[in-house]
Structure 1
């Protein structure tokens, strides 16, 4: 995912905090890297005749998309666009650590205000950012104009809930169904504040003049043994869930959630061996004719 989340106003909920969100994005990339590799494989297949030389990441967050693509396409240069200065600084640090800093530049911009002058590009990556645009049709038209003929746009989105599920249904904390109830509350809030989350982007892409080459659904269901970062990913995610629903949960559910988040406790997600990672992502790969 990922997520996702980057112009990240897509994750700019009331509890937005730059460093917490940045950590979550990095953990998402670490745990869901296999899904990311599959998506870049699809892009490489479609771009086999003319690999991209200039890649634009819309809502880059901490840079997972653009840095993965620069590693895949060794001749390319990247432009990372986000409205969050903290995210872009973190991206620059990551790029330097990977030896990619000379191949990527950052642009701080709010796409709801105006399209920035980024020049012509060959590939645009938009991961979990489109559903937050005030006018996605205009942004897609701007992307179409910025792409060279034959260029590709990758839109990656999650379903109606942007956060994975980690816990078995019985939870083990005396509150069966706790995670499902938290997610149901979040879904109600997202439906009001992010109505485009979970949308089908096929029709808007066609209306903007794109040809949709591939639409692929990924049902991610990771089982033990899991990547080392999974416990931290679950902790960071559930902390964010808690801050979103704490005023809506009953006292017993909130207490059970706090047991899962207690870093010193035996039931903390950092210590559990029964975690899984379950989420759904969809990718649309579209070409400017």
Structure 2
């Protein structure tokens, strides 16, 4: 999904991933998001209330291609225009497209979606925006752009996450139970100030922009099987991002406990835990442009 506030996430880094500092670290966590949550992303693409399989798709704020490749798999006849403000993300997406032999079906466009004028993106049957809309400086303007972009009767899928995923049981870490909840509380306060549309109800905004909301669905993610290496690295990268936002708000004992989890050389490292889970929610709004 892709993420990814994803990440500064989940983010704090999007506008369709507008902030490109630490792009390598962000790219890695976007790729992990795609790997760990692949089944859930596929379920979303399968659920979309489409009248017919789309031929032209635009992925807004595509990151490293989580949605792009899920949509290519779901709609094998479609061509996708992947849009992002990070040249590094688009380079990685193009490299993967070549590796998978689908480069003829993918066009990448480097663009700032907060700009007044958008580049020409064709007339898509489907526009996909995952974890990107809440980073727009003027989301109402962005929604109008999408409305004008879509083919008549086309579908706009807005996918948003309920903040950072949770990874630890409530009793962890042993010396500071509930640490993750307190970290999330600190990041929620930060995002309320700096990313005000995070967690918004996009239904009324879509209606105001001239769409008809065809369906809305919240998908709970709850992965509780034995954690894979990818889950461990996903948890590590996500908590590193959380630390960057929450550190100043945490009491010293909590910050010290968090740093022990993030110390990959420590016996307390989150990479060594066998009790990790992945819990989060994704809400999808499927909105149709009126003919």
Report the TM-score when normalising by structure 2: 0.92
| Counterpart Cα distance in 2 of 1:128 and 1:21 | 14
What's the counterpart of residue 269 of structure 2?
Answer: 268
Structure 2 SS opposite 1:27 = helix
CA distance in 2, matches of 1:247, 1:178: 14
Deviation readout 1:167-212 (Å, 9 max, x if unpaired): 0112134011111111100000000001100000001111111111
In the alignment, what sits opposite 1:205? 206
Instruction: Tell me the equivalent position of 2:10.
Output: none
The residue number in structure 2 matching 1:8 is 14
Question: Number of matched residues?
Answer: 283
Aligned-partner Cα distance in 2 for 1:233–1:111? 27
Instruction: Report the equivalent of 2:172.
Output: 171
1:117 pairs with 2:120 = yes
The root-mean-square deviation of aligned C-alpha atoms, in Å, is: 1.8
Aligned partners of 1:10, 1:144: CA distance in 2, in Å? 17
Query: Aligned residue for 2:251?
Result: 250
Q: Distance in 1 between matches of 2:16 and 2:127?
A: 17
Q: Which runs of 5+ in 2 are unaligned?
A: 8-12
Aligned equivalents of 2:185, 2:268: Cα separation in 1: 23
SS in 1 for 2:70: helix
Q: For residues 82 and 27 of structure 1, what CA distance do their matches in structure 2 show?
A: 18
- Contact 2:58-2:83 at 8 Å conserved across structures: yes
Instruction: Report if aligned partners of 1:262, 1:268 keep a CA contact under 8 Å in 2.
Output: yes
SS of the counterpart of 1:148? coil
